[in-house]
Amino acid sequence: MSRAKLDSIRAAGPAILPSLLQCDFGDLRTEIEKLTVAGTRVLHLDVMDGHFVPNLTYGMPIVEGLRRHTDMPLDVHLMISDPIAYAQPMVDAGADLLTFHVEAVDDCVEVAGKIRDMGVGVGVAINPDTDFAKLDCCLDSVDMVLVMSVNAGFGGQQFNPVALDRLRSLKERKPDLLLEIDGGIKAETIGDARAAGCDLFVVGSAIFGQHDYETAINELTQAMHGSPPATGDQS
């Protein structure tokens, strides 16, 4: 297993990563085609176990199905209590970057090392209410930090600006570390996240809640770079 896809993810940044949790799973092929046309370069998958977080989503078969339809890197966010138990099956299914939660494990360095030995990129995620210092021990052991701007696994939450402070701190301390943000990312928040040093932006409803994915991603890209969304007669 090669870590070449990690280099592809690095090269894609700054990049918008559609969160496939809200896509049409009955027609994955068409969804991937639409996202590819829209300029997507990396896909994000949220895996929830109903234990670490209250919701239950998908597992290896969906990752494997996606891999059959695309060569794009698959960024898999493990919102699960025992990430190591499922890490190798996820890698075998086609995951290129696995992110576990600092809150879910006792030894971040050990978990990061085991995932790295599987030949993929490794990330660590942290919820906004978790002590930021919990990351200190493993920053040298991971390729990416996923800064949550909402608590993982809960819908309907507001963007927590503490994520921006954390991004700025991480960028200053570890300028070569990939930084990702997830939760409430839309045109009104993505520019601030980019200004704080973020590289990868996980987006759900701001893409999948729109009729035209290409228009939605273009507007988010403009906002990411500090340009206001286009206005005027859209008829």
Whether residue 155 is annotated as binding a ligand: the answer is yes
Whether residue 154 is annotated as binding a ligand: the answer is yes
- Choice among 46, 75, 96, 192 that is catalytic: 46
**Nearest residue to 178 (alpha-carbon basis) of 208, 152, 200, 211:** 200
- 3 state DSSP class of 167: helix
- Confirm if 207 and 213 have CB atoms less than 8 A apart: yes
- Choice among 75, 143, 182, 192 that is catalytic: 182
Whether residue 204 is annotated as binding a ligand: the answer is yes
Check if 199 is active-site: no
Whether residue 44 is annotated as binding a ligand: the answer is yes
Check if 46 is active-site: yes
Whether residue 183 is annotated as binding a ligand: the answer is yes
Whether residue 184 is annotated as binding a ligand: the answer is yes
Whether residue 117 is annotated as binding a ligand: the answer is no
Whether residue 182 is annotated as binding a ligand: the answer is yes
Quote the CA–CA distance of 106 and 220 in Å, as a whole number.
37
DSSP annotation string for 37-86? HTT---EEEEEEBSSSSS-B---HHHHHHHHHH--S-EEEEEESS-HHHH
The dihedral over CA atoms of 201, 109, 142, 140, expressed in degrees to the nearest 10, equals 120
Whether residue 191 is annotated as binding a ligand: the answer is no
Backbone dihedral angles phi then psi of residue 206, each to the nearest 5 degrees? -70, -15
- Confirm if 78 and 100 have CB atoms less than 8 A apart: yes
Binding-site residues for a divalent metal cation, in ranges, read 44, 46, 77, 182
Residues with catalytic function: 46, 182
Binding-site residues, in ranges, read 19, 44, 46, 77, 153-156, 182-184, 204-205
Binding-site residues for substrate, in ranges, read 19, 77, 153-156, 182-184, 204-205
